[in-house]
Structure 1
Amino acid sequence: MTSTVDVTTLSDLLRRAAKAEILPRFRRLGSGDVRVKTEATDLVTEADEQAERMMKAEAAKRWPDAVFIGEESVAADPALLGKLQGADLAIVVDPVDGTFNFASGIPAFGVMASVVSKGETVAGIIYDPMGDDWVMAEKGGGAWLRRPEGESQRLSVAAPVALEQMVGMASTGYLPKEKRPEILANLAKVRFLVNYRCAAHEYRTFASGHVHYLMYNKLMPWDHLAGTLICQEAGAHAARFDGTAYLPHHVGGGLLIAPDKASWELLRREVFTV
C-alpha cells in the first residue's frame, strides 16, 4: 500500500530542513533560542520552530490537500491535533525529536515524519542529521536504511531471546506514579535498560535489530507513528498495553514493541504490568 505523498520527496525535505535550520544551530543556540514548554525537560528551540515552518511551507506546495500536523503547530493550536482522526490525508512531523539532547549539545536527535491516510499510518521516516541517513517504511514494503548516495539496506528486528537476556528502552517518566516503582523493580528481570531521551534513535536502534523491546506510555503522534510502522515493517509485534492496535489518533494507552508476539506477551506479563 502506498500513500499519495511521495516518500522519497518527503524524506529529502526532512534532510533539507535539517541542513538549513537545525544543524547550523547545533551547539550554537543563544540564550533566547531555547524555551521551556511544560517543564524543565520539555523544551523548544529556534531550530524546532524554523525547521517545522520550512517543512510546512514546502509540504503545502507539494501536497496542498494534506493536513499538516507538526509538534510545534499543535503547541500553538491544540485543536489542530483533533483533525488527524478524520483527515483523508495527513503529514505528521516532529522537526527535532530529542530537543533536550539537541539543546544540551548531545548529538542524539532526529527528524521524523509520517503519512496518515484515512486513519492509518501508511509511511514513516526517521532522518538522522548527524549520520545523514534515513530509516523509512511504507506499509507492506518493509523497513529500510537509505543513504543519500542511493544505497539501501533492508532492516530486520532482533531474534527473540529469553527475558533475562533482553536489552531495550523504556520511557518510565510518564508512567503512573503509583505503578512506576513496581515497573522499575520489574526491569531487574531484563538484562539491560537504556533511555536515549530520543524516540527517533530508539526506534532506529530497535528496527535495526540491536535491542529487544521499546516501551512508551505517553503517545503523541509525531513521536511514535513513524517509528511504530518502521518497526512493524521490520518484523516487530507492536500493540498498546491492552493488546489493541496503536492508531494515529491514540494519545494514551501505552505502547509496547517486541520482536514477536510471544516476547511481547512475556514482557507485558512480567515487566510492564501497568
Structure 2
Amino acid sequence: MTAFENAKDAARCIEIVRAAAKSEIMPRFRRLRPEDVRAKTAPDDLVTEADNAAEDTMSRALARDFPEALILGEEAVASDPTLLDMLPDAGLAFVIDPVDGTWNFAAGLATFGVILAVMERGQTVMGLLYDPVLDDWVLARKGHGAWFGRPGEPSARRLALSSGGSVETATGLVTPFDFTRGRQARLAAQLTEFRRVDACRCSCHEYRMLLQGSFRFGLSGQTKVWDHAAGVLALKEAGGHSRMLDGRSYTPSITSGSLLVADDAALLNELSDRFAWLEHPEPDGAD
C-alpha cells in the first residue's frame, strides 16, 4: 500500500496547488514586468517571479503537511541539478513544476498549468495536472484511475481512453524543436503523414488533451521528470501506453532519450517503428 492510497492526502495536494495558483500565479498573469522574467538555458527557456513564488509556496505547504518527504521543484533543480540524485531512494517525494508552459505564461497565453508528481522510491504514485485559469484538474493515483475534477461538483469524472482508426488518421502532439537541429527537418516532414499534429508548449495541457481524447499520441525529445511523471501515470491509469523510443519502459529517473505515448498499444508499436530513426546516430557534422 502506498501513502497516497489515502484519498485525503491527494485532496490536500489539490488544495495546496490551488491556493498557490490563486495567491502567486494568477495575480501575476498578464501583469509581469520585464524584470520579472529571465532566461535560463536559452532565450525561450524562461523563469518568472510567478514560477519562483509558486514553487516556494507549494514547497513550504507540502513540507508542513508531509515533513518526511523530499520536495523537488523545477527551479530548485535548475539551481542545483544534483538534487535529482536523491529522488530514486526517497521514501516519499514531491516533484513540482510550478508554472508549466512558462513561455506561454510570460507571453500572456492562457495555456499553462501546474504539475505535481508524488513518488515513492522513484515510482510515481500520484499525478496532478492543474489548470489555474479555469480552476480544474486531472488527478491520477496508482491503481485508482485518472479523474477530471473541478470545485463544486459532487463527483469527479473518470477518464478512459478509447482507440481505433488508422495511423494516418491519428492526431498527435510533437515539437520538432525538442530534437537536435540535424533531425528537425526530417521529423517535421514526417509529421505530414498524420491527420493533424500540434504542440502547446505546455506538457500539462498536452497530457490533458491526450487524456480527453483530443489527440491520440505524443512524442517528446525531452524527458524532464517534472514534465512527464504525472502525465505518464495518468495516461496509464486511463488505459494508455508509453515507451522510450529505444525500447525501454519509461521511468521518472530517465533523463535522456525520446518518450512516446499513445492511447493504445497497437498505435504505440506502429509509431515506434516509424520514429525509430530518431534513435540512430546522426551523420558527422550534424548539430
- TM class, shorter-chain normalised? over 0.9
Secondary structure of 1:178's counterpart equals: helix
Deviations 1:91-146 (A, max 9, x none): 00000000000000000000010011012111000110111101010011111001
Give the aligned partner of residue 78 of structure 2: 75
2:245 and 2:275 in contact (8 A); partners too:
no
2:143 and 2:237 in contact (8 A); partners too:
yes
Shift of 1:82: 1.2
| Unpaired runs of at least 5, structure 1 | none
Pair 1:61 & 2:70 matched: no
Give the aligned partner of residue 156 of structure 1: 160
Shift of 1:186: 1.5
**Residue-pair matches, total:** 274
Query: Bigger shift: 181-190 or 215-224?
Result: 181-190
Give the aligned partner of residue 208 of structure 1: 212
| Unpaired runs of at least 5, structure 2 | 279-287
Give the aligned partner of residue 50 of structure 1: 53
Pair 1:131 & 2:124 matched: no
**Percent of aligned pairs sharing the same letter:** 42
Pair 1:119 & 2:141 matched: no
Note the 1:184-195 alignment, pairs <5 A: 184-195=188-199
Deviations 1:55-112 (A, max 9, x none): 1111110111111011011112221111112211110000000000000000000001
1:17 and 1:55 in contact (8 A); partners too:
yes
Pair 1:18 & 2:40 matched: no
2:55 and 2:98 in contact (8 A); partners too:
yes
Shift of 1:254: 1.3
Shift of 1:272: 5.4
Give the aligned partner of residue 252 of structure 2: 248
Amino acid of the structure 2 residue aligned with 1:34: V
Shift of 1:273: 3.0
Give the aligned partner of residue 90 of structure 2: 87
Give me the whole-angstrom Cα distance separating, in 2, the residues matched to 1:217 and 1:31. 30
Shift of 1:243: 2.3
Scaled by the length of structure 1, the TM-score of the pair is 0.96
- Pick from 82, 103, 107: which aligns with 2:106? 103
1:84 and 1:248 in contact (8 A); partners too:
no
Give me the whole-angstrom Cα distance separating, in 2, the residues matched to 1:186 and 1:202. 20
1:228 and 1:238 in contact (8 A); partners too:
yes
Give me the whole-angstrom Cα distance separating, in 2, the residues matched to 1:209 and 1:273. 27
Quick one: structure 1 residues 40 and 158, their matched pair in 2 at CA, closer, same or farther if it must change by over 3 Å?
Answer: farther
Query: Bigger shift: 227-236 or 144-153?
Result: 144-153
Quick one: structure 1 residues 34 and 59, their matched pair in 2 at CA, closer, same or farther if it must change by over 3 Å?
Answer: same
1:116 and 1:248 in contact (8 A); partners too:
no
1:70 and 1:93 in contact (8 A); partners too:
yes
Shift of 1:235: 0.7
2:145 and 2:158 in contact (8 A); partners too:
yes
Scaled by the length of structure 2, the TM-score of the pair is 0.92
Give the aligned partner of residue 285 of structure 2: none
Give the aligned partner of residue 180 of structure 2: 176
Give me the whole-angstrom Cα distance separating, in 2, the residues matched to 1:66 and 1:173. 35
Q: Higher helix fraction: Structure 1 or Structure 2?
A: 2
Pair 1:3 & 2:7 matched: no
Higher RCO (CA < 8 A, seq sep 6+): 1
Amino acid of the structure 1 residue aligned with 2:123: E
